Structures are given as structure tokens and as C-alpha cells.
A and B are shown apart, each in its own frame.
Chain A
Amino acid sequence: MPNILLTNSCNRRCPYCFALAQVQLGVCRAAWEMSEAELDTVLGYLDFRHDVVSLLGGEPTLHSRFAEIVSEVAARRFPIKVFTNGTTPHLRSIPASACDDELRLILNLNRPESYGRSAWGEIEENARHFGRRMSLSFNVYEPAFFWDHLRDLILRRNLMRRIRIGLAQPVHGMGNSCLPEEAIPDACARLVEMAVDLASDGIMLGLDCGFRGCAFTERQRGILLECGAELLFDCKPVLDIGPDLMVWRCFPFSATAGVRLLDFRSLREVAEHFDQVWAHAMTLGNTPNCRDCPHFGRVCRGGCLSRTVNQRQPPALS
């Protein structure tokens, strides 16, 4: 399931930003947005029966034709996910005709004190507007984190009772905030506390890629499943498609050399290309124990590849 970057403009500066390499282009150089023809080309690589169209940025709602793009993609029967910071009124410009069961909005929420009054007002208004179509996303990038504000917004605005949990990863050369390796087990224990606490309100967690299975104990994994958590210990080429139809393995690699989408016949070929490029690093894992682990390569990829590479030899920047 590839991510489509609609624009590199963003009105937020999250310390852990995964898209930093692209978003800084918008700061340092001219802002960029995907053209209609480029989007049409990308959709040609997808099949509505198997693929979800994930729209990201930057902040995707800042694309000048955001509402029209969502309408067009919906008309082609694709399920749509919009990953947004929720702080712009443009999100509510999605026409009612595109708001069916196949549209999902994932609002990434940081600590409340990081928002001004106006931005928080937009978050509240967007949450009220979309209700059950919207779920929250939360990124772990510091050892101590809290979730009462997530619960509060979900219950007050009747949002979908699921929170995507991302573990911030190093984007090469960008200096974004992320947890050091040794802090991850404690953060995972905290996530288990979070899952148990939120389960009492029927709210479940969904882990995004980049977690290691052994960062949790067996009992912690069991408790997470009892709390409805969706566990993922995988790391594979997600494929992020950005300016000039360049493709990167995933956001943490977006400062490295990408490839041109048009040089490949299918997204599967692109993924295979990145698998080849990083084949050796994929055999390592985040910890020295990974290679001898019976789960490594089957269910667990030993954490985020970007973290593995970063711990050894950072790749050359593009």
C-alpha cells in the first residue's frame, strides 16, 4: 500500500517528523504539489480491489485541489485514507459524495500544549465534523508520554475507537527526534499500560511498522492482544511516492536516493528493487540477538530498517 505525497507543504513542525526530508524541501525551496497528471499516473499502478489510496504530505489538505482529488479517487472506487494533522479547515471541504464507508481520516495528535488556540479549534471542528470516520494517530518519540487527551477527544467527538501508534524512527541526516534503542523496552511497557487503560473505554491500539517483537515480553504481547491491539513487527517497503514521481522505500529513507516510478512496470517491482538494495541490512535487525532469533524474518523484522542502518553506516544522502 503506497503513500502518495500530495504536497511537501506543512503548517506544523513536529519534532519527530517522518517526512522531514520532503517537508524541508518545502521550507528551503519552492513548495511543491502533485499534479493531476502525476496522480493519474500513480493511480494507474493501483487496483481498487486490492489497494488503499493513502494521501499524505506534508499536510495533504494544503494541496490546492485537495477536495477535488479526494472526490476523483473516490469516484474510481478506491478506499481512501487521509493522514492529516487536522489543523486546517480544508479537511472539511471533502464533499459529502466522497464520504462513504471507504473513506478514513487519520488525525495525528501531539501533546495538546503544542497547539495554539486556533489550531486546536480546527482539530475540534474536524473531529466533530467527521466523527466515526476519523481515528487518531500518536507517535512515540520520548520516554514519557500521556494519552488522556487522545481518550478525551475520541469520547467527546465519538471518533473511531482505534489509535494508530507509530514509533518515531531516525530519518537519515535530518536529526529528527526519536527514542534511543535502550529506551524502547520501557516505552513498550508504557504502551501496554496505555492499552489496558484505554481498553476500559473500548479504545484499542494498532501498532505501525518498526516495532520489535522482543521489545515486549510474552505476557505483555498477550495483554495487548486481550486489549484488542493489532500488533505488527514488520518492516517492508511501504513506498512513498513524491515530487516528480520519485519513490522511496519509506519515509525514513526519503533523504536517500529514490527511484523513478515510471522506470518500473509495477509497484511490486519497485518494492523488489528496494529489497535488493537493502538486502544485507535486512539480515541484521536492530539488535545483535536478532540474527539468532527464530522469529526473525518470519514474523518480526527486528525493528525498523532505518534504525538498523543508522546504527551501522548511514547511507549516502541524495
Chain B
Amino acid sequence: MITIEFDPRGVADAVIPPVQALGSLLDRCDEENIRDVVMRLPETPGEDLELVLRPLMNRPFRFSAWFRAQPSARLAELFISAGHRITIAATVIPYRSVLRSVMKSPAYASGMPWQVNLFLALPPPPPGVAEVLKGLAPRAETSITLGIAWNNLETGPSSITPPEEKEWVEVLLRMATWCTERGVTVHIACGLPLCMFSTEQLGRLALLKVRPPLASCTPGLVLTLDGRVRACPRLPASGWVAMPAGIGLRELTSQLVGPSELFAGFCGRAGEQSCRSLATGACGGGCRTHNALGWHAESGVMAFSPPDSAGRVC
């Protein structure tokens, strides 16, 4: 999967992309037979963005439009009417205003499949979550991504205690149960190590409307329109590099991401060879980006140590 970033963080004067730059990126995807393209749209799209995107809607891709917080009703409609998927990421949680905006949009009324990404920032459970879910649930095709957001990575707590971790998982299970009872499909956001859940909790999850994978780390190439690239949307600006010439997108992805079997840094079982979840890919070993930024497993407990001046994580 390829993600095209329209509003690169760290670039002060982000502009509406020129048609040529976007077209050229899509041409590269087409040449390499890459069909799934996520478009991370700007928070405040200009009016001419619709003009740029409209001619692309019939190209042979499965687009997923990713809106940050406030979805643009017109752009959402554009994607949905062409049969593509939209995702609304309510990471920075003005839940009520997001809900109002969504319910007003023609996209919501159309009844076509769409997905709401709702990341839980725990603990404590944020207010208003139940209200948002209640509003969204009547749409049969609605799905929700439940995750745990590690906010303020650089200044976060020094560790997460086992009771806190247990509380997060229990809240996540309760939310998944709530969604299941209302016919809402649940995705679990990438980056959680599977050993956060006990075997019995996983047994409960298996009878909820939760779609696999439960604990993946699935970086995909993120391209910016000004020619930079990174391996994960979560990576901060320091993780971007200039796109090298003469290399295919698939090869570039594997170079940036590295072989997945070597990664187990955020794993409560310290990447032990015999872990059946790591071996089968049931667990991605946690989040590479969080790991790179200082979070890691310490005796089975998630802990935070900021990288030293050389960028090393203790």
C-alpha cells in the first residue's frame, strides 16, 4: 500500500499539489501494479483540490481518502460517489464537532461503505466517545478503528504500569463489545503488541466483530508531493528522506521498512524465538515508530526512554 501525503508536517508553506506531481506518483504506482493508494488529505483543503482530484477518480486504483479530524463534505462525496473509501481520523478528538460534521455530510447520507478511525487516548477514557459511537452506529457499513494513542511521545510518562495497561485493554474490550452489539465492525489500530491481551481476552475478542490483524505493525511507503518519503505516517519529520532515484516503490518500501522478522523491539516477550505470535505474524512486535521514538518493552511492561543525543534508544 502506498500513501500519498498532501499536507506534509514540517513544511510551513504546504501548497495544493500540482496535477503533474500527483499524476506522476500515480503513474509510478500503476507501472508497479500497486493498486491500493491512501490519500492523506490536508486539514484545510483549498477549493481547487477538488479540481485536481476529480479527473483521477476513474483511474484504476482503490483509493482511500484519509481526512484528519474535520472531513470536507465535498471531497468525501467525490471519493464515495466514485466507489472509493473514506476514513476520518479523529485523533485529535473534537469528537462532537467531528460527529456533527460527519452527520451533515452527503457521504454519511449516501449509505456507501466508509470507515471512521477513532483512536482512544487512554487513560483515562476520553469523554464523549460513547456519544460519538452512538451517533455513528446506525450506519451498517460503519467500521471503527480502536487504538491506544501514546500522546506527547517526547514528554510522555516514564512508563506505563501493568494496572494501567490492563485498564486500557479492558476499556478496549468493552468498546469492541459495545460496537459489536450495534453491528459496527472494529479494527484494532496497528502498533499494539499481542501480549497486551491474555489468552482468555483474545478468546473473547474472537467472538466480537473485530477484524484481523489484531496486533500488526504494517508500515507502508508514504510519499510527499515534494519528493520525500518515509516508512510510516507516524514518523516525525526527522524520519523523512529524499526519494532516491532509480529505485522501484516496492523495493524502496522493503529497504526503508527492513525485514519484518527482525523486528520485535516493542515486544513484551523480548522477541523470544519461540513466540508463536511473532512467528506467524499474528503480532508485529509492537510499533516500530514508537520503538524508534523511545517506547520499548522492559520486563514485559511498556516504558519510555527518550533517545539520547545520538538517537539511540536506551
By a beta-carbon cutoff of 8 Å, the part of chain A in contact with chain B is 47-50, 77, 100-102, 161, 196, 199-204, 213, 216-231, 233, 295, 298-300
Contacts and interface: CB of A to CB of B under 8 A. Distances in A.
B203 A217 contact: yes
Contact of A225 (B33, B60, B214, B279): B214
A96 B203 CA distance: 42
Contact of A218 (B60, B197, B204, B276): B204
Contact of B207 (A101, A213, A219): A213
A198 B45 CA distance: 49
Given A199-B279, A226-B199, 18 more contacts: A49-B62, A49-B84, A200-B276, A200-B279, A202-B281, A204-B281, A217-B203, A220-B203, A221-B203, A222-B197, A225-B194, A225-B202, A225-B205, A226-B276, A228-B276, A233-B207, A298-B209, A299-B209
A13 B83 CA distance: 42
B220 interface: no
Contact of A227 (B84, B207, B276): B276
Contacts, number: 90
B279 to A, nearest CB: 5
A228 B202 contact: no
A218 B277 contact: no
B306 interface: no
B81 interface: no
Interface string B257-277: 000000000000000001011
A293 B245 CA distance: 58
B206 interface: yes
Given A102-B35, A221-B207, A227-B280, A298 B180 contact: yes
B282 interface: yes
Contacts of A204: 280-282
A48 B62 CA distance: 9
Interface string B165-193: 00000000000000011010000000000
Contact of B202 (A47, A101, A196, A221): A221
Interface of B: 33, 35, 60, 62, 83-84, 180-181, 183, 194, 197-209, 212, 214, 274, 276-277, 279-282
If over half of A's interface residues share one DSSP class (helix, strand or loop), that class is named, otherwise mixed; here it is: loop
21 contacts: A49-B62, A161-B280, A199-B279, A200-B279, A201-B279, A202-B281, A216-B206, A217-B203, A221-B202, A221-B207, A222-B198, A222-B199, A222-B200, A224-B206, A225-B214, A226-B202, A229-B282, A298-B180, A298-B181, A298-B183, A299-B180
A196 B274 CA distance: 11
A226 B33 contact: no
Contacts of B276: 196, 199-200, 226-228
A295 B212 CA distance: 18
Max chain A CB contacts within 10 Å: which of B83, B84, B197, B207?
B207
Nearest to B180: A298
A218 B279 CA distance: 22
A223 B282 CA distance: 11
Contacts of B277: 226-228
Contacts of A199: 276, 279-280
A202 B279 contact: yes
A102 B33 contact: yes
A219 B205 CA distance: 11
B33 to A, nearest CB: 5
A299 B212 contact: no
Contacts of A47: 83
B100 to A, nearest CB: 29
Contacts of A223: 199
A48 B208 CA distance: 29
Max chain B CB contacts within 10 Å: which of A50, A100, A196, A221?
A221
A49 B62 CA distance: 5
Contacts of A228: 276-277, 280-282
Contact of B83 (A49, A202, A225, A233): A49
Contacts of B33: 100-102
B206 A213 contact: yes
Contact of A222 (B181, B201, B281): B201
A94 to B, nearest CB: 15
A199 B274 CA distance: 9
Contacts of B83: 47, 49-50
B268 to A, nearest CB: 13
Contact of A295 (B201, B207, B282): B207
Max chain A CB contacts within 10 Å: which of B84, B180, B212, B276?
B276
A77 B29 CA distance: 14
Contact of B194 (A161, A218, A219, A226): A226
A208 to B, nearest CB: 15
Contact of B200 (A50, A100, A218): A218
Contacts of B209: 298-299
A196 to B, nearest CB: 7
A216 B180 CA distance: 20
A221 B206 contact: yes
The 3 closest A-B pairs by CB, nearest first: A228-B280, A218-B203, A228-B282
Contacts of A49: 62, 83-84
